[in-house]
Chains A and B, each alone.
Chain A
Amino acid sequence: MAENNSTADSKDVVLRSSIDRSLRHPVMFLFASGALWLVLSIVLGLVASAKKHNPEFLTCFSWLDAGKVDAAHMSAMIYGWGLQAAFGIIIWLMARLSRKECTASGIILWAAHVWNAVVSYGIIRIMMGEGSGVTYMEFPSEVWPLLLVCYTTITIWSLVQFQVRDAGHVYVSQWYLLAGLLWFPWIAVTAWVFVFLMDGHPLMVAGVAGWFKGTLFSLFFLPVALGSAYYLAPKVTGRPVYSYNIALFGFWSLAVFGPWAGMEKLFGAPVPQFLPYAGAASMILILIPAIAVGYNIIKTVIGNSEVIAESPSLRFTAAGIVLFVVFGGLSVLLHTVPALKLTQFTYTGYGFDVLGLYGVFSLCAFGAIYFIVPRITRREWLSRRFIKWHFFCSIYGISSVVICAIAGGLSQGQGIEDLSQPFGTMAERATQFSWGVTLAWAFILFANLFFCLHLFLMWARLGRRSSHPTLLDAHHPTSPHGPEGEVDNYSSASA
């Protein structure tokens, strides 16, 4: 019996090792190029934020004009960093959970290169002043079909793996990943067709663009983040997910409320009034899946405070989930009718979007990257100090961006509503808050420069060859990943 268990364990290790080996090159390329884009997007965000309190900053460079650099900043963050990190997480997680090796690594790697080339082209066109001007779809119209083809080329293999998985339980993570994989082409194709292809009414085009902006987060980035969290929390703590029923409820509540998000951006526009109100209602109801997922994940990891403190993966993931609950709460406050009226044309929307993209999605993605990279490179992270700096500077930075942007936006909104004051007063009200945002982006840049460096060192396989994972506490008595750590078990499965 013991022999059978041992044989089954070693077969399992061989299988996991072969899955990791099959995905090493595409996943590392996606993570590394995504990290570079993240650094670039933060630099652009710094410049964009600096221009808000100092409009003369870098005016000698016309390609860094405020409108261009704002658009380039968000496009680089979403399409350069966010989508590539999501691809890497999706293809690795789905392969592991379906227990199938990837047979299309070369194709995925090729498509990832094309994705980077297309995104670079799009960013350059934006900075030349040839962006489309549509929020979150700033790239010129000819870019979108290429991005959709690359998306399909990268992710279709994960759908095939899911379909041919061994019969058995479908994990919670797989629900979220599968849903995200299918939702993205729906929202992207619909938005591209209505905004760029069809000659529709301009107001409806604006509505569809707003809908795409809302659902890109709620129906793609959020499911990927939650799928990753539902994998890592039980994996690292060694405990099952606290409640299957709450997980089911959280998933379906996101599936019901998520698709309605986005049109609250048209509040006050001459469109049928049920559209922005439905969007606002769905953003308020996002609190329900936020509480469900937050409660489930936190109950799974609670009682293991040492593990959360020591494990980089779990620390980042837990922080991302906590910020998801904060996101849900803020969503309720910011999408009531009085709040929408006050904050519609202010800094607040930017702070809220950054909370979602960086605070929720990116922190969960960092947790996944800190878990996945040692397994596919068979090296451990070099420096716990880099990881700590990355974590604390990210948390401090994102909190500051969100607090300053939202507070600044509320102050701006009061200025807009005060008709006895000149319009310039409104802009001046946000000056000190935009200084705060600029400083916060500087902290986040510092954090991610070290993350990028660390990741490139791992890509070059200069990480530690060790049987024990890199933990954040140097004095841990035992490893939360087990006495030998998973990396060591690969020695029997080496090629």
Chain B
Amino acid sequence: MDHTRDNPLKRFSAFWIAILLATSFGIALIITQPFAPDKTDKAYEMVSEGRLEIKDGIDRAQDDALNEAALAEALSPS
């Protein structure tokens, strides 16, 4: 082993620098995430309750109108 370039200390530091480099991108993203501006559209959120009520009503009406027996008969191979 050439002690000027290849020694345990250099290997140890190279290993941890590489780990740091690999994880630095993820660390940078996680650190900057709290500083991202809040993109919540408040007007959109305000009308969401009404919209979801309408959707629930439609889903219930469709479920009530669905005839499972007729559907199964239509889909059967014979």
Contacts and interface: CB of A to CB of B under 8 A. Distances in A.
A186 B33 contact: no
A198 B11 CA distance: 35
Given A152-B19, A185-B21, A201-B39, A163 B26 contact: no
Given A189-B26, A190-B25, A159 B14 contact: yes
A193 interface: yes
A166 interface: yes
A164 B10 contact: yes
B29 interface: yes
Given A152-B19, A152-B22, A189-B25, A164 B11 contact: yes
B29 A193 contact: yes
Nearest to A98: B6
A443 to B, nearest CB: 37
Contacts of B15: 156, 160
B22 A185 contact: yes
B25 A160 contact: no
Interface in B1-45: 2, 4-7, 10-11, 14-15, 17-19, 21-23, 25-26, 29-30, 33, 39
Contact of B33 (A159, A163, A198): A198
A167 B6 CA distance: 10
Contact of B2 (A166, A182, A194): A166
A166 B5 contact: yes
Interface of A is mostly: helix
A165 interface: yes
A190 B29 contact: yes
Given A190-B25, A193-B26, A164 B18 contact: no
Given A164-B6, A167-B5, A185-B25, A193 B18 contact: no
A24 interface: no
B18 A156 contact: yes
A100 interface: yes
Nearest to B14: A163
A165 B5 CA distance: 7
A272 B18 CA distance: 35
Contacts of A152: 18-19, 22
* CB-based closest 3 A-B pairs: A163-B14, A164-B6, A185-B22
Interface of A: 100, 148, 152, 156, 159-160, 163-167, 182, 185-186, 189-190, 193-194, 198, 201
Interface of B: 2, 4-7, 10-11, 14-15, 17-19, 21-23, 25-26, 29-30, 33, 39
Given A189-B25, A190-B25, 13 more contacts: A152-B18, A152-B19, A160-B11, A163-B11, A164-B6, A164-B10, A165-B5, A166-B5, A185-B23, A185-B25, A193-B26, A198-B29, A201-B39
26 contacts: A152-B22, A156-B15, A156-B18, A156-B19, A159-B18, A160-B11, A160-B14, A160-B15, A163-B17, A164-B6, A164-B11, A164-B14, A165-B5, A165-B6, A166-B6, A185-B21, A185-B22, A185-B25, A189-B22, A189-B23, A189-B29, A190-B26, A190-B29, A193-B26, A193-B29, A193-B30
